[in-house]
Structure 1
Amino acid sequence: MRAFQLALAVVLSACSAAVHGKAVFAHFMVGNVGGWTTSQWSSDIAVAQAAGIDGFALNVAAIDTMTPPGPQTLANAFSAAQSLGFKLFFSFDYLAQGAWPRSDILTLLNRYANHPAYFQHPPTNQPLVSTFEGTGNTFDWISIKAQTNVFFVPDYSSLGPLGAVLTGVADGLFSWSAWPDGPSIISTVLDLLYQVLLGSKPYMMPVSPWFYTNLPNWSKNWLWRGDSLWFDRWNQVLSADPEYVQIISWNDYGESHYIAPLHSEQYGLFSVGGAPYNYAANMPHDGWRQFLPYLISQYKTGRASITTESLVSWFRLSPANACSTGGTTGNTASQGQVVYDPATLAQDRVFFSALLSSSAQVSIAIGRVTQRGSWSSIPSGGSGIYFGSVPFNGLTGAVTVTISRNGKIVAQMQGATVSKQCTNGISSWNAWVGSAVAGGQTGANALAIPGATPATTLTTTTKPRTTTATLAKATTTPATAKEAAGAGTVCVSGTGSGNFIGLCQFACQFGYCPSPCTCTATGVQIPELPATGGNGYPLISAGSRCAYTGLCSYSCSHGYCPPTACGRNPAGAAGC
């Protein structure tokens, strides 16, 4: 075994020396966005760029991209990418709607392979092309390459690394094996084998945060272990040092491994796929982009700086045995795997990770019970990304993760609620992801990434709560609450509709519950959070903006300032 490891080290050292230009891509499902305008493409591209992503691998199925509105959708994509300096390349999907006709591939490549936004593989400056499978059509690529001069890096995972190399047609290889097999942490054995067999040819390494799908019409209903996968896999990227990295995925909501903002116009796949319900709605994954600029800089240059300390947390919204499995299995027999009960793979834990300049403590509240957390991974030298988790321990309620140092809060994420109630009585095995930045925003869309534009629906996913430690420190009581509710009893829970939900849930729990909020419970005054956040105002663009005035002022000053409703520009309250 030692001899094998040494041999690998020698080969990988040689491979590393052959690396010409590293890049990180995200797998983009074009079939989800038929008819997208240039503006819609520009919005998502800007978010990806802010996260440090270099380009999209455009997953294109034959029918979706060769018939209306597909051609115009692609034209809009390339136009937006060119204007923003972003890169795109095709990943031809041979499974979604059958094998690609060679003539159609040539049509697309002749149209776009030399487009300014099309990614060119350095140092040969050939247009990069990939696939999702297509092993039955390998010989097509001999003539396609001869006619287009593309640099071919397919995913032939079904053949295994050796079988894929032996096709003789690939200039490099991409692996789809981004998830562990069974109740274990993913290993890099397969990645290393690809690199050894490829020699000086480039390897595109897959990285994914999660996997859960329940689309019976497409014979898909299983999960693979997520849990610590996002943290583990990026550490493995830094160790393996591949030529390219591809994140699976940007917007595949049906398989729950998206890191894009939520877009309701892409939810049609749930009805077409026969899902029991939409398990992506109100389940943001934006937080998984939080550390990407830091990680991608480390991967490309070997160094990265911390400009803002921050944290990310993710967890499922119900214990594994609280509701029906919905027929979901852990692993899938369709790929020849040993099948497990899903609860064996998916752990009932709150996972958290923090980007810190020095060591700090972590505590996790579920409902009104706070647990002291610990770090299972600490960066060398104390500066970098920390990671840990705590079990649910049978608790239910809103989750709050707090990072503190020397008795002072560094960052606090106020998140969604763990409950034993499930939609349609079926467990969702998807993850809810939240984040927080030091001295700033918290919740589902609190990204310290310039230019990130969260979807407006994300305001409904955050239900902030205070921790026991915070309540002990708080001393003030809002006079408006006493005046409205009378001495001794005030509103302690409330809600609203649409974009008001998050604001009403936050403010009403502390006794401030003005119209358009509705108080749903009264009780003993809960001490409010200290007013240290600065005043907030309605967004100028918000519909019925004056209705937000009091809520934005109160909530922002107490640390909750959702960017889809409130901001810091006083002009938003003009005339109200």
Structure 2
Amino acid sequence: MLPKILSFAILASSALASVIRMPRSVSNSTSDKLVFCHFMIGITSNRNSATDYDDDMKRAKALGIDAFALNIGVDSYTDAQLKLAYESAAHNDMKVFLSFDFNWYHTGEAGAVGSKIKQYADLPAQLKVDGKVFVSSFAGDGLDLAAMRSAAGTDVFFAPNFHPGQGDFKGIDGALNWMAWGNNGDNKAPTSSHNVTVADGDKAYNDALGGKPYVAPASGWFFTHFGSEVPYSKNWVFPSDLLWYDRWQQILGLAPRFVEIITWNDYGESHYIGPLSSPHTDDGASKWVMDMPHSGWLEMSKPFIAAYKAGDKSVDKYIKEEKLVYWYRPTPKDINCNSTDTTMQGSPNNGSGNFFRGRPNGWESMQDAIFVVALLTSSGTVEVTSGNNTQKFEAKAGASAFSVPMGLGQQKFALTRDGKNIMGDTSLKEIVNTCICGIYNFNPYVGIVPAEKDIDQLQPAGLAMLTQGLTAPCPTNTLGAAKPRATLSRRSLIR
């Protein structure tokens, strides 16, 4: 299935709404609050058994995720992969549900949508909320809800990605807000005159829902960079920077009934938290995803998810293991890659209006900085070295966020306490002023201290389109190649 290309305006507003809580019961969960994670079935056609989904299910469950929202289109392999995903979820005590992608479904296909719901409604892994089969969507405003429910033949808890002012909010049970990033109200980066914050979106949805459950989005990033080498050309970035940290703090304050992480494995839009090694095919995103793991974001969210489910406004007491999570882009934003970048080649299809040549639309909104989140059980000193620039921060017990101006070269991170080295690491990814693989890459590298034992890498199927459209050399899976990982996992502390 090809990446999403639709754009939708959302209503802007200026303040965060309060969520009205209603008495309710939730099936298949011991908590009133549930966390979902969007999962793209469209890039998993190479999975051959239910066990190919087991690692994803186990990782998600350990994180505190209750269910995967299985994004589906009309690909020939969709049912085969759904069968495997539902089977794996049942084996791993996870839940899943269908999320219809209306890039591929049409709003006139209410009968087909209902029939698909009916097909999976009674499987053991199907998420049910308030005794109803839970179903969601990407887009879908205008769907005939009565016809969909009739074809489903069962009670459906429908929480689609309808849009305030467009969709029928009276006929749905809840709604998902997809816009987890600040924007201009028309699916591009915000401008000085058009700035819709994520909190503005929260308010617009809660106002439209009138007390019905809200599925609040949480995402760490958005960058996509498809050129003429594919028919779904698009090239833009939303301001992200410390978004992953800031959004979880907002979620704790907002306390919605549901949260949906966007996403587990949408590599093409750079907002994945799942492993690079998770089996998938390549839609061309490998050019900016190779050597760019995001598993540090997965680890960072664990105490925030626990705090959210407990209804706590602070994450502090849910931090059980001390970690430093850091992320940054691999090059400064003003580097010039026009002579080799894929978006400068050919005659791309811009029917969506989402394609731009050269640097991604919105590139100016990004900071040239290193972002660090400290998860500590007691206070300490965080030291960050970016190139020749070293800064120290006094971090309190709990969660704290810091940023340091980007410097070329090695990136080092350390924690000291009472004059003693507690932990430290040198990132496997240096910041360079050359165009990696010849392209503009605004995807972040996400690392963690203590370092993970294994290096997360794309597998052969996930690299299949790496060289398509490239005009510069692109060495494959080079992360950590300079040294054996055994020496990298316990590197010298930074002192």
TM range (shorter): 0.7 to 0.9
Could you say which residue in structure 1 is the equivalent of 2:212? 201
> Does residue 150 of the first structure (1) align with residue 156 of the second (2)?
yes
Amino acid of the structure 1 residue aligned with 2:180: A
* Pairing partner for 1:45 from 50, 57, 62: 57
Q: How far off is 1:409 after superposition? A: 2.5
SS in 1 for 2:374: strand
- In 2, Cα distance between equivalents of 1:501 and 1:349: 21
User: What is the deviation of 1:231?
Assistant: 0.7
Match of 2:482 in 1: 505
Would the alpha carbon gap of residues 314 and 556 (structure 1) be closer, same or farther in structure 2, given more than 3 Å must change?
Answer: closer
Equivalent position SS for 2:220: coil
Letter in structure 2 aligned against 1:365:
T
Residue 132 to residue 58, structure 1, CA distance change in 2 (3 Å):
same
> Quick check: 2:111–2:148 contact (8 Å CA) kept in 1?
no
Equivalent-residue separation in structure 2 for 1:139 and 1:499 (angstroms) = 47
Amino acid at match of 1:390: V
Q: Kindly tell me: are residues 333 and 346 of structure 1, through their superposed partners in 2, closer, same or farther at Cα, counting changes over 3 Å?
A: farther
Which aligned pairs between 1:83-98 and structure 2 lie closer than 5 A? 83-96=91-104, 98=106
Aligned to 1:366: 386
Structure 1 residue 357 displacement after superposition: 1.6
CA contact 1:145–1:151 (8 Å) conserved in 2: no
Structure 1 consecutive aligned stretches of length 4 or more whose deviation exceeds 3 Å = 16-20, 96-104, 138-146, 183-187, 325-328, 332-337, 339-343, 453-458, 497-501, 554-560
* Matches for 1:345-424 after TM superposition, within 5 Å: 345-367=365-387, 369-374=388-393, 382-392=396-406, 395-415=407-427, 416-424=429-437
CA distance in 2, matches of 1:172, 1:279: 35
**For 1:67-123, what per-residue CA distance to the aligned partner results, in whole angstroms no more than 9, with x for missing partners?**
2x33221111111100110000000011146557334333322221121101001xx
- Equivalent residue number for residue 247 of structure 1: 261
SS in 1 for 2:296: helix
Query: Which of 34, 58, 67 is matched with 2:45 structurally?
Result: 34
Structure 1: where are the runs of 5+ without partners? 447-452, 459-496, 508-550, 561-576
Give CA-to-partner distance per residue, 1:539-575, whole Å, 9 cap, x none. xxxxxxxxxxxx84x6667569xxxxxxxxxxxxxxx
User: Matches of 1:180 and 1:191 in 2, distance apart?
Assistant: 12
Q: Aligned partner of 2:131: which letter?
A: N
Corresponding residue of 1:269? 283
1:168-191 deviations in whole A, cap 9, x for unaligned? Answer: 321111111110122779441221
Whole-Å separation in 2 of the counterparts to 1:237 and 1:246? 11
Change (3 A) 1:253 1:404: same
Structure-2 residue corresponding to 1:573: none
Q: In structure 2, what is the Cα distance between the partners aligned to 1:154 and 1:333? A: 22
Whole-Å separation in 1 of the counterparts to 2:196 and 2:421: 32
Write the deviation string for residues 197-229 of structure 1: whole angstroms up to 9, x where unpaired: 323311000111000111232131111011011
> Which ranges in structure 2 are unaligned for 5 or more consecutive residues?
1-12, 27-31, 184-189, 345-350, 460-474
Question: Which amino acid counterpart does residue 445 of structure 2 have in structure 1?
Answer: W
Q: Return closer, same or farther for 1:210/1:116 CA change in 2, 3 Å cut-off.
A: same
Residue of structure 1 in register with 2:67 after alignment: 55
- Is contact 1:175–1:206 with CA below 8 Å preserved after alignment? yes
TM-score normalised per structure 2 = 0.78
- How many Å apart are 1:366 and its aligned residue? 2.6
Q: 8 Å contact 1:366–1:396 — kept in the other structure?
A: yes
Match of 1:471? none
Shift of 1:298: 0.5
For 2:131 and 2:112, how far apart are their aligned partners in 1?
Answer: 23
1:432-471 aligned within 5 A? 432-437=445-450, 442=451, 445=452, 455-456=456-457
Deviation at residue 267 of structure 1 after TM alignment: 4.2
With over 3 angstroms needed to count, the CA separation of the structure-2 counterparts of 1:215 and 1:260, relative to structure 1, is same
TM-score (normalised: structure 1): 0.68
Change (3 A) 1:5 1:387: same
Q: Distance in 2 between matches of 1:85 and 1:35?
A: 24
1:431 aligns with 2:444: yes
Looking at structure 2, the residues matched to 280 and 334 of structure 1 have their Cα atoms a distance apart, in angstroms, of 23
Q: 2:176 aligned to 170, 174, 179, which one?
A: 174
Tell me the CA shift for residue 363 of structure 1.
Answer: 1.8
| Equivalent residue letter for 1:213 | T
Aligned residue pairs total: 432
Q: Is the 8 A contact 2:385 2:411 kept in 1?
A: yes
Distance 1:192 1:18 in 2: 22
Question: Matches of 1:335 and 1:168 in 2, distance apart?
Answer: 31
CA contact (8 A) 2:110 2:144 kept: no
**Residue 163 of structure 1, CA deviation:** 3.5
In terms of fraction of residues, the more helix-rich structure is 1
One of 224, 244, 251 as aligned partner of 1:237: 251
SS at match of 1:409: strand
Aligned 8 A contact 1:19 1:202 in 2: no
Distance 1:370 1:309, change over 3 A: same
CA distance in 2 between partners of 1:365 and 1:254 (Å): 30
In 2, distance between residues paired with 1:115 and 1:402?
Answer: 48
CA distance, structure 2, for counterparts of residue 146 and residue 557 of structure 1: 54
Amino acid in structure 2 at the alignment position of 1:190 = G
**1:187–1:136 CA distance, 2 compared to 1 (3 A):** closer
State the 1:259 CA deviation: 0.6
| CA–CA distance in structure 1, aligned partners of residues 152 and 133 of structure 2 | 13
Q: Deviations over 1:27-57 (max 9, x none)?
A: 0000100141211100111111121111100
Aligned counterparts of 1:266 and 1:499: Cα–Cα separation in 2: 16
